[in-house]
Amino acid sequence: MHDKKTSPVKVNRLKVSVADLRKRLGQQLTCTVNAVLPRLEIIATHSTQDPCVGELVFDSIERGVAVTGDVKFFWEGECRRCLETTKGSQSVRIDEIFQVDASQDDEVRHFDGVTVDLEPVLTEAIAFSLPLAPLCKASCGGPAPDEFPAFIGEAPEMDKEEVDPRWDALKTMKFE
């Protein structure tokens, strides 16, 4: 039989004590996350100082705990077409396993068996989820839409330039 604790657990600086949870396999613990992480930046997009929020479930497994759930974070960046500031939010899925004595080659994270540190997990997940080239809106035409049109969907057929005849030999090549 699996025990389930549904009361939120206090998270102290994104460190969660799982010592009691690990006493019985299959036991669960729900943790509410509401924390401000350090600013993360990729290209022209960065996370804001708004707290990331979500709910994570800790499951007791052999030699460790499994952590799953969704966390929402907020970002700000430049629109890739008009360069105006745009903002948004995004949810990221957390699905990690923490094990005692995990090797560095494993896809699981090592921990001391007592405390799970969520900060590296959340930081990594958010950094990989920041939009690389955000848009302020899908229909954004950019700063000079008549001179430099932004194509939504397929680009219109352009006049084809004549190909240099020296490249014709490449058309006969077959790659298998």
pLDDT per residue rounded down to tens, the chain (176 residues): 444 444 444 444 688 888 888 888 888 989 899 988 889 898 889 999 999 999 999 999 888 999 999 999 999 999 988 889 999 999 999 999 998 887 777 788 888 888 888 999 999 999 999 998 898 888 887 777 777 666 656 655 666 677 788 888 888 888 87
pLDDT of amino acid 149: 67
Instruction: Map tokens 């396999």 to a residue.
Output: 25
pLDDT, residue 6, reads 43
Burial class of residue 77, CB neighbours in 10 A (0-12, 13-18, 19+): buried
As given in the structure block, the two tokens for residue 144 are 């000079």
Pairing state between β 85-99 and 64-78: antiparallel
